[in-house]
Amino acid sequence: MLRAEFNQRDKGLVLKLEGRLVSAWAVQVKSLVSRRFVRNGLLVDMSEVTYVDSVGEQLLLWLRDLRAKFVAETCYARDICERLHLTLKGDADRPVPSATEVLPSSTVAPPPPPGRSPVTRPGAAS
């Protein structure tokens, strides 16, 4: 099952997708988008998408070619966007960053110096 909801905003048309973006549902969404006049841009919210098949991926690539931007607030949606090189809202100049680009290396604690225990116990001799 798929739910597609359109909302017209000042900055353009918003398409919110919820559920499984598969075969006939993806074709139907393409038909719905094709009938609308998108003058200020299209924002596609994929945060509630639970599954995308190959036909759904083709739809997303078609939307990308229309210069749509995407919202992906879940791991699954972000993975789809990253894999298909879809542009997230706010990232107009670059595709979705990979996990290694998002997490700075300083978030991982450096290893202790050689010969020192990583855990310091009170009263332990050094």
Tell me the pairing of strands 12-21 and 69-71. unpaired
> 42 or 120, which is more confident?
42
pLDDT score of 3: 96
- DSSP letter assigned to residue 41: -
Question: Domain 2-99: what homologous superfamily?
Answer: STAS domain (3.30.750.24)
Lowest mean pLDDT among 10-14, 19-23, 30-34, 64-68: 10-14
Contacts of 8 (CB under 8 A, 6+ apart): 14
pLDDT score of 116: 63
Span 30-79, pLDDT tens digits: 999 998 877 778 999 999 999 999 999 999 999 999 999 999 999 999 99
The ranges assigned to domains in the chain are 2-99
- Alpha-carbon distance of 107 to 105, in angstroms, equals 5
